[in-house]
Amino acid sequence: MWLWSKGLGRLILPMDIGKAELQAEGETLVVKGVIVAPKVYWDYALSLQKKDLLDCMALLTDQRVVAYLVRERGFGLLGVLLKVAFRFGTSYLWAELKKLARRDRRDEVLV
Q: Which of residues 91-110 bind other proteins (CB under 8 A)?
A: 91-92, 95-96, 99
Closest listed residue to residue 35, CA positions, set 6, 53, 11? 11
Name which position in 66, 102, 103, 105 contacts other proteins (CB under 8 A).
66
CA–CA gap between residue 36 and residue 61 (Å, rounded): 30
37 binds other proteins (CB under 8 A): yes
11 binds other proteins (CB under 8 A): yes
CB closer to other proteins, 63 vs 111: 63
Who's near 46: CB < 8 A, 6+ residues apart?
20, 30, 31
70 binds other proteins (CB under 8 A): yes
